Amino acid sequence: MSDRQGGEMTNIVWIENQPQPAAHGGGPHPTDQTEFTIGELAREFGVTLRALRFYENKGFIAPRREKNMRFYSQKDRARIATILSGKKLGFTLAEIRTMIGGKDDTRNVESLRLSKEKCLEQIRMLEKQQLSIKDALAELWRIHADLSAEIVGVDWRDGVANVDQPQHVSRL
């Protein structure tokens, strides 16, 4: 799906409900596994046990409990993947809750509309950040070039900088 913004094509990608491998290289569990322990999911997604308990406390996931053990379903696993993807994209937990539906997974037209608007809002914010980063990089490259030019003008005899007259970078 795409949206025109100021004559530019912007791709809009929905947050997938598929788990992604953790950054440390661990892959997802086989899909035929129906339940997961808190430790397995923490390792898979590269999060702490405390983070998973927090999501449980907030009603995002509801593991089955047996004595002191928590057993997470495929649905819980998918919701954790969605939460982490949403956070990575800069959404708040409240926004993520709206996007994935409430505790009962119900999504209505209003929540879909809000999700679409939030995605566009986040895209605009990230595009502004991207422009700021590009501007900062351009300025740093300019300063680097000025410093490099200044170093070229220095007499480096005996491994020591001998400068007849101080040279300054003008626009630091």
Q: Encode pLDDT of 62-103 as tens digits.
A: 999 999 899 999 999 999 998 998 888 888 898 888 777 754
- What pTM, to 2 d.p., does this model score? 0.57
b/e burial code for range 99-123 (CB count within 10 A of at least 16 → b): bbeeeeeeeeeebeeebeebbeebb
Is 93 within the bounds of a domain?
A: yes
Token pair recorded at residue 90? 């800069």
Is 73 within the bounds of a domain?
A: yes
Domains identified in the chain, total number: 1
Predicted local confidence at residue 19, as pLDDT:
45
Chain centre distance of CA 73:
24
Is 38 within the bounds of a domain?
A: yes
Q: pLDDT confidence of 107, banded at 50, 70, 90?
A: low
Predicted local confidence at residue 95, as pLDDT:
83
| CATH code of 12's domain | 1.10.1660.10
Under 8 Å CB-to-CB from 111, ≥6 apart: which residues? 98, 99, 101
Cβ count near 21 (within 10 Å): 12
Predicted local confidence at residue 109, as pLDDT:
64
Is 143 within the bounds of a domain?
A: no
For 140, the 3-state DSSP assignment is: helix
Is 28 within the bounds of a domain?
A: yes
Predicted local confidence at residue 33, as pLDDT:
85
Chain centre distance of CA 57:
23
Is 131 within the bounds of a domain?
A: no
Dihedral of the CA atoms 144, 150, 155, 157 (nearest 10)?
-20
Is 168 within the bounds of a domain?
A: no
Domain that holds residue 61: 2-111
